[in-house]
Amino acid sequence: MIDIRLVREDADTVKAALGRRGVDAVEIDRLVALDAAARSAVGSRDELRARVKALSREVGEARRAGDTARAETLAAESRAAGDEERTHNNRAEAAQEAVRRALLYLPNLPDAEAPDGAGPEDNVVVRTWPEAPAAYGDHQRVPHWDIGAQLGLLDMARGAKLSGSMFPLYRGAGARLVRALESFALDRHADEYEEIRPPTLVLTETMVSTGHLPKFEEDAYHVERDDLWAIPTAEVPLTSMWRGDVLDEADLPLRLTAGTACYRREAGAAGRDTRGLLRVHEFEKVELFAYTTPEQARPQLASMVARAEGMLRDLGLRYRVLDLCSGDIGNSAARTFDLEVYSPGVDMWLEVSSVSWCSDYQARRAAIRYRPAAGGGPVFVHTLNGSALAWARIWAALVETGRQPDGSVVLPEVLAPYLRGGTVLGAG
């Protein structure tokens, strides 16, 4: 969440920043009013608490002096003040909760360097690799769901039979390809990132810490009986590993990576890009995550983008990098770069990675701080996350790009060690 002190001290700056994201200034005015009411309620409660404490001291003094009548009178006053204090405390807590709820729904302030814009059409293409458009043959203009069915790699019908639509089922070499991609990625990141295997069902406060709750509840899968949530990304458990803790600056940047299944209801996706693997409810992804100091954040963001790009080049996939505009970045992010691969069989650019710097927005929600080496009080860390990479659409782009005139699929050599040495699917 954003810093309430900034709202108090410079509401106009907050209005201008969030206005770039389409947030109405009325929302900030409402927050200012809620905060003023909460502080007033807390002040009244604290005055009553002080009065109760003073009366308690006077009761003790009167009893020690043997003045029983005065002690009883003061005790009655103390009980009445105590009842009033409890009423005011309930009001103060409700007012503070109203401020907290309002903050939980507000998005992060966009970075000054994020381009202005209202939506995806305003995102800026930073670069494309390779620069010259590739030439694709007719044999590559076949959608991956047809290739998968022809070669026995992908069975969407049986996936739907088991779990409903948009739940893919990979078979044989198709399943091995998903496993190979995850192993390839985890090995690539092992030089700087600690591998984590987190739970994929998490507590409500774990989802709140990243900003996925309460605002995006409709997009998440909830196990109501146990009040657990299926993670939409490994960013969720990785963010909360040090929830409520204070780190040492010497430990930063702290880098983590995890390969997990991810679950998304895609509540607003009905009828839109839902064939094959274009949009699914369950998919595998390797996540990069880092806790940093504010000074380390921008270099870390660039490093994460570079890692994702390096993998796409090694996989031989044409891609582009987008600098997301202020109106299109995610709720928790201050700056985001998306990576999209071109998939010739569906003739579409498919998002396969989103790399975001969340400043101290998530750390405030999760209460994660660090002790500066130079001394002074604890400071909120900055958090960054990025896909490196998400496999469903990579799988689709690989089988479409690698399809040969005879119908077989040739995969990149970098995957050979993870595919028992074979990189041709459907040969013979």
Domains of the chain by residue range? 4-105, 120-425
Q: Do domains 4-105 and 120-425 have the same CATH topology?
A: no
User: At 367, phi and psi to the nearest 5?
Assistant: 55, 55
d(CA 353, CA 332): 16
User: At 339, phi and psi to the nearest 5?
Assistant: -115, 130
Q: What is the tens place of the pLDDT at every residue in 146-202? A: 999 999 999 999 999 999 999 999 999 999 999 999 999 999 999 999 999 999 999
Q: What is the tens place of the pLDDT at every residue in 270-310? A: 556 789 999 999 999 999 999 999 999 999 999 999 999 99
What is the model's pLDDT at position 335? Answer: 98
Residue 343 DSSP SS3: strand
What is the model's pLDDT at position 6? Answer: 97
What is the model's pLDDT at position 134? Answer: 87
What is the model's pLDDT at position 3? Answer: 97
pLDDT above 70 covers a percentage of the chain that reads 98
User: Which DSSP state fits 281?
Assistant: S
What is the model's pLDDT at position 419? Answer: 95
What is the model's pLDDT at position 270? Answer: 57
Tell me the DSSP string of 139-184.
GG-S-HHHHHHHHTSB-HHHHHHHH-TT---B-THHHHHHHHHHHH
The token duo for 404 is 């040969």
Q: What is the tens place of the pLDDT at every residue in 63-81? A: 999 999 999 999 999 999 9
Using 50, 70 and 90 to split pLDDT, how confident is the model at 21?
Answer: very high
d(CA 63, CA 69): 9
Domain 120-425 has CATH 3.40.50.300: no
d(CA 42, CA 252): 37
- For the chain, give the mean pLDDT: 96
The token duo for 423 is 């990189």
Alpha carbon distances (Å) from 102 to 98, 106, 403: 6, 7, 51
Query: Residue 428 above 90 pLDDT?
Result: no
What is the model's pLDDT at position 274? Answer: 83
Using 50, 70 and 90 to split pLDDT, how confident is the model at 269?
Answer: low
Looking up tokens 């994201």 gives 21
Task: State the average pLDDT over residues 222-231.
Answer: 97
Alpha carbon distances (Å) from 211 to 182, 205, 358, 361, 418: 26, 10, 10, 9, 35
Task: For the domain covering 4-105, report its CATH number.
Answer: 1.10.287.40
In 175-233, where do the E strands start and end?
Answer: 194-196, 201-202, 221-223, 228-230
Q: What is the tens place of the pLDDT at every residue in 401-425? A: 999 999 999 999 999 999 988 999 9
Beta carbons within 8 Å of 295's beta carbon, 6+ residues apart: none
